[in-house]
Amino acid sequence: MVGVILLTHGSLGIELLKTSEMIIGKQDKVDFLSVQSGASLGDLAGDLDRLINKYKSDGVLILTDMFGGSPSNIAMAYLEKNKVDIITGVNLPMLIKTFSMRKDIKNPQELGRAAIQTGKESIILAGDLMNK
């Protein structure tokens, strides 16, 4: 099963994880890393390195909060690695989809594609529903 790493600013990652587990139950093979103000990105890269290694047999999907933010920048340095892919702009529906599809989709990239489709579809302007 593909591993999942939530890599975000502040406590967004752990809170997303807690919230998704509230909805679909406790998850295996998932970790979170947090970028705090003033923290060393070098130390964080070391932690990320260890986690990616931990999941190297089945691969890993890294979910970051914002394209262009430092969590995402650190993660992108691992793109050249085998069986590692990254989603930027994580949201709750996307994370739930990732967890629930992991048993069926064994490849991080394909899992990521399925997850972002759900993530994108979950974003709507509710007022538009009225105009249909």
Partner 1 sequence: MNKKIIFRVDDRLIHGQVIEGWIKYYKINDIIIVSDRICSDYLQKMIYSSILPASCTLQFYCVDDFIKNYREISSTKNSLLVLFESVNDLYRVRDILNDNIFVNIGCVASREHKIEITDTVFLDKEEVLKLSELRDRFNIFVKKLPWETAVEIKNFINFLED
22, 38, 125, 132: residue in contact with partner 1 (rule CB under 8 A): 38
Measured CA to CA, the distance from residue 2 to residue 101 in angstroms comes to 10
What 8-state DSSP symbol labels residue 31?
E
Residues 106-125 that bind partner 1 (CB under 8 A): none
67, 106, 121, 123: residue in contact with partner 1 (rule CB under 8 A): 67
Identify which of residues 25 and 42 has a Cβ nearer to partner 1 in the complex. 42
Say whether residue 127 binds partner 1 (CB under 8 A): no
Q: How far is CA 27 from CA 69, 99, 110, in A?
A: 26, 7, 20
Q: 35 CB contacts (<8 Å, ≥6 apart)? A: 7, 8, 9, 10, 41, 44, 69, 70, 71, 74
Identify which of residues 24 and 39 has a Cβ nearer to partner 1 in the complex. 39
Q: Where are the beta strands (DSSP E) in 10-127?
A: 30-35, 60-64, 84-88
Say whether residue 11 binds partner 1 (CB under 8 A): no
Say whether residue 72 binds partner 1 (CB under 8 A): yes
Closest approach of Cβ 19 to partner 1, in Å? 22
Measured CA to CA, the distance from residue 120 to residue 32 in angstroms comes to 22
Say whether residue 37 binds partner 1 (CB under 8 A): yes
Contacting residues toward partner 1, per CB under 8 A: 9, 37-42, 66-70, 72-73, 76-77, 79-80
